[in-house]
Structure 1
Amino acid sequence: MYSVEDVMTFVSQEDVRFIRLTFFDIFGRQKNISILPDQLERAFGKGIAVDAFAVPGFENEIHGDLYLKPDPSTFTILPWRSVDGSVVLMICSLVYPDGRPFEKDLRMQLKEAVQDACALGISLRMSTEFEFYLFRNDEKGNPTSIPLDTGGYLDVSPLDHGENIRREICFTLEEMGLQPQASYHQCGPGQNEVDFHASAPCRAADEASLFKWVVRTVASTNGLRADFTPRPLPDEPGNGLHVNMQVESADFLNPIDEEEAFRHFMA
Structure 2
Amino acid sequence: MLLSELARDRGIRYFLISFTDLFGIQRAKLVPAQSIDDMAENGAGFAGFAAWLDMTPADPDILAIPDRNSLFQLPWKKDVAWMPADLYGVDGEPVLQTPRLILKQMLKQAETRGYLVKTGVECEYFLLSADNHEISDSCDRAAKPCYDQQALMRRYDVVSEICDGMLSLGWKPYQNDHEDANGQFEMNWAYSDALTTADRHAFFKYMVKSIAETNGFRATFMPKPFGNLTGNGCHTHVSIWDSSSKTNLFRETDEDLELSPLAYQFIGGILKSATALCAFANPTVNSYKRINSPVTLSGATWSPNTISYSGNNRTHMIRIPDFDRFELRLADGAANPYLLPAAIIATGLNGIEEKIDPGDRCDHNSYTDPLPPDKVRQLPANLLDALRSLEKNQVLQTAFGESFIASYLKLKYQQWDEYCNYITNWELDNTLNC
* Partner Cα separation in structure 1 for residue 123 and residue 12 of structure 2: 32
What is the CA distance between 1:195 and its match in structure 2? 1.6
* Partner Cα separation in structure 1 for residue 195 and residue 117 of structure 2: 10
Contact 2:136 2:217 in 1 (8 A): no
* Partner Cα separation in structure 2 for residue 179 and residue 109 of structure 1: 27
Match of 2:141 in 1: 150
Contact 2:116 2:193 in 1 (8 A): no
Contact 2:68 2:83 in 1 (8 A): yes
* Partner Cα separation in structure 1 for residue 197 and residue 36 of structure 2: 26
Paired residue secondary structure (1:68): strand
TM-score norm. by structure 1 comes to: 0.86
For the pair 1:239 / 2:237, whether they are aligned, the reply is no
Match of 1:183 in 2: 176
Match of 1:208 in 2: 201
After superposition, the C-alpha distances for 1:209-247 in whole angstroms (9 at most, x for unaligned) are 111111111111111111211221111111111011112
* Partner Cα separation in structure 2 for residue 91 and residue 159 of structure 1: 31
Which letter maps to 2:193? A
For the pair 1:44 / 2:44, whether they are aligned, the reply is no
Moved more, 150-159 or 191-200: 150-159
What is the CA distance between 1:177 and its match in structure 2? 3.9
Match of 2:19 in 1: 23
For the pair 1:72 / 2:63, whether they are aligned, the reply is no
What is the CA distance between 1:248 and its match in structure 2? 3.3
Which letter maps to 1:143? N
* Partner Cα separation in structure 2 for residue 240 and residue 76 of structure 1: 25
Contact 2:151 2:178 in 1 (8 A): no
Which letter maps to 2:203? L
TM-score norm. by structure 2 comes to: 0.54
Paired residue secondary structure (2:197): helix
What is the CA distance between 1:27 and its match in structure 2? 1.3
Match of 2:261 in 1: 259
More strand by share: 1
Report the CA distance shift for 1:227/1:45 in structure 2 as closer, same or farther (over 3 A). Answer: closer
Alignment of 1:73-222 (within 5 A): 73-81=69-77, 86-137=79-130, 142-148=131-137, 149-150=140-141, 152-157=145-150, 160-222=153-215
Paired residue secondary structure (1:245): strand
Paired residue secondary structure (2:133): strand
Paired residue secondary structure (1:146): coil
What is the CA distance between 1:60 and its match in structure 2? 4.7
> What's the Cα RMSD here?
2.5
Number of positions where the alignment pairs a residue of Structure 1 with one of Structure 2: 255
* Partner Cα separation in structure 2 for residue 235 and residue 174 of structure 1: 34
What is the CA distance between 1:184 and its match in structure 2? 0.4
Which letter maps to 2:85? C
* Partner Cα separation in structure 2 for residue 158 and residue 35 of structure 1: 40
Tell me which structure has the larger Cα radius of gyration: 2
Identity of aligned residues (%): 24
Asked which structure has the greater RCO (Cα within 8 Å, sep 6+), the reply is 1
Contact 2:3 2:37 in 1 (8 A): no
Which letter maps to 2:82? L
What is the CA distance between 1:63 and its match in structure 2? 0.8
Q: Which runs of 4+ in 1 moved over 4 A?
A: none
Paired residue secondary structure (1:181): strand
Paired residue secondary structure (1:234): coil
After superposition, the C-alpha distances for 1:99-157 in whole angstroms (9 at most, x for unaligned) are 221111111111110110121232210000011111223xxxx2231342235111112
More helix by share: 2
For the pair 1:224 / 2:217, whether they are aligned, the reply is yes
Contact 2:4 2:34 in 1 (8 A): no
Match of 1:34 in 2: 30
Match of 2:54 in 1: 58
* Partner Cα separation in structure 2 for residue 25 and residue 121 of structure 1: 30
